[in-house]
Every structure is written in structure tokens, then in C-alpha cells.
Amino acid sequence: MRKNGEKAGIKPVYSKAKWWNNGPTFLPTIPMTSNTSPTYTTRISLRAKRISIRVLANNKVELVVPRGASIKQAERFLHSKKGWIEQALQQSKHLPQATLERPSTIHLRGINQRWSVQYGQQARLKEHGDQLLIPQADMPAAQQQLTRWLHDKAHTHLVPWLRSVSDELALPFNRVTVRAQKTRWGSCSAKHNININRNLLFLEPEVVRYLFVHELCHTVHLNHSHRYWATVAQYEPNYPQYDRQLRKAMLDIPVWAHP
């Protein structure tokens, strides 16, 4: 089901509040409707001329936004369609659940690993050479095993990597937690606890390193001030390019790995 926006006065030019000015979150958190709790995803479209909403199976709502649209415009649109969304969500309960393709290969660019995946021939999950053997043959059971494996990989590789970047920059942090998040690649709290998204594994190593630098610099400045960005630039002069890549990267994560 799709709902198109009236030509909501969207200018295909830069406006003040933009998705990507929101710092490391990259995509905004959209407020929930009153008595349903759908999962929102946002897709920034180069082709879209107007904001639109799609209600998908599994209680998911996708917001498609033209590149020039502001967060305010999208939020206003979303609010104005609350009633419609709720109705569509009710109806979508009767839609067949989306079937999920199981991956035959997995490319973890961040740690330079390529896996070919075999299903259903093994009692336990096993890595064998460059083969990943998954006991379950069918989704979504196989997906559960894949994402658990992915989470372990993130612990094994991303956590020590963050520690080494922290040592290198002499920017210590407190605790690190690996998370599966839809809309954020990382965060850093006032207590210098850092969260990192397990799906960073899919991104180019330079971009992963930039995210680490980004969060570690928040241990110095807990904001996105000019002084903050100046600190980032000291450690990573190419940060604008990596920041741009990071903002688009959520769209490249394979569907099976979505939290």
C-alpha cells in the first residue's frame, strides 16, 4: 500500500534541517503513531519527486523521501497520514508475510572476509575454510543463526579494532556494546560508553575506521560543534567523504541482516 504526498512544496535544494545534518544518526527517528508501534525505515530516493509512505507486511512502514526534503517536511507528512497508516497497518496483517531470501554468499568488506553459505547439512553452525555451514535450511530460522554469527563476528573483530583505534588516537572510552540497529551506526554517551552497529562489518574498512574516530572524538566534544569537527579532521582529514558514504550505507546492508 502506498500513499503519495500532495506536492508538499518540497524544494529539491538544500534546506536547513536535513537528514544528514543530524550527525551520526544519519536517519531520523520518526515518531510512532498513537496505538500501533510499527517499525519505520526511511529511504532517501534520488528519483522520488514527493514524500510517500509504504506500509509493508510485518508491521513495517517505509518512508520514501526525495533527496532535497527536510526532516520537518517528512515528519509533517507522516503526522498528517497517521490515520491512514493505522488503517493500512490493520489491513496489512492479512497480507502474506514477505519471504526472505537466504544469502548464498556473504561479503564482510570491513574485515575482508567472503563466505559462501551452505544450509541444512550440519548439526552445528561451523566455519570451514571460506564456507559457512548453517544447520537450519529455511528462513527465518536460518536468519537467526546468520545474525547470531554476525553478532559474534562483530564482537571478535570490531571491538578489538575500536580499542586499537582508541589507543592509536589516545582517546580512551569506557565500555563498548555491539548492537543491531536500524538507524544508527554508532553512538557515544556522556559516560564515554560507545555503541557500535554490528552491520559495520559490511562497510569498507576506511568507513568503519571513520565511525570509530567519529565516536571517539565524542569523548572530547559531546556534540557536533565546529570544534568537534575540527578534532575529527585532525585524526581523519578525509572525514567528509567517509561521512557521506556512511550516511548512504544503510541502504546497502543485505535484507537478511536487518535488525
Find the binder of Zn ion among 15, 23, 68, 229 (CB under 5 A). Answer: 23
> What is the closest distance, in whole angstroms, from the C-beta atom of residue 85 to Zn ion in the complex?
30
Nearer to Zn ion, 85 or 200 (CB): 200
- Kindly state the helix (H) or strand (E) to which residue 254 belongs, with its residue range: none
* Burial bucket for residue 117 (CB in 10 Å: 0-12, 13-18, 19+): middle
Q: Least distance (Å) from Zn ion to the CB of residue 140? A: 33
Let me know: does 150 contact 103? Beta carbons within 8 Å.
Answer: no
CB of 25 to Zn ion, least distance (A): 8
One of 24, 68, 135, 254 touching Zn ion (CB under 5 A):
24
- Of 149 and 228, nearer to Zn ion (C-beta) is 228
**From 21-29, 60-68, 163-171, 234-242, span contacting Zn ion (CB under 5 A):** 21-29
> In this complex, which beta carbon is closest to Zn ion, that of residue 77 or of residue 239?
239
Within 8 A by CB and 6+ apart from 155, the residues are 178
Determine which helix (DSSP H) or strand (DSSP E) holds 85, and give its type and residue range.
helix 82-92
Of 117, 187, 176, 177, which Cα lies nearest the Cα of 145?
117
The smaller minimum CB distance to Zn ion, of residues 147 and 219, is found at 219
| Site residues (CB under 5 A) for Zn ion, limited to 132-161 | none
Please give the Cα distance from 127 to 129 (Å, whole number). Answer: 6
Write out the three cell numbers for 234.
585532525
Is the N-terminal amide bond of 140 cis, ω within 30° of 0? yes
Interface stretch with Zn ion, choices 16-24, 55-63, 105-113, 233-241 (CB under 5 A): 16-24
Q: Based on CB atoms, which residue is closest to Zn ion, 91 or 177?
A: 177
Indicate the SS3 state at residue 60. strand
When the beta carbons of 198 and 218 are compared against Zn ion, the nearer one is 218
105-108 sheet: strands from edge to edge: 105-108, 113-119, 131-134, 126-128
Tell me the sheet residues that pair with 105: 116
- Minimum CB separation from Zn ion for residue 210, in Å? 11
Establish if 22 lies at the interface with Zn ion (CB under 5 A): no
| Segment lying near Zn ion (by CB under 5 A), choices 6-14, 20-28, 97-105, 236-244 | 20-28
Pairing state of beta strands 113-119 and 131-134?
A: parallel
Tell me which residue of 64, 62, 75 sits closest to 17, measured CA to CA: 75
- Segment contacting Zn ion by CB under 5 A, of 19-27, 42-50, 56-64, 245-253: 19-27
CB of 187 to Zn ion, least distance (A): 8
Closer CB to Zn ion, 54 or 184, in the complex: 184
Contact 259, 184 (CB under 8 A): no
* List of residues contacting Zn ion (CB under 5 A): 23-24
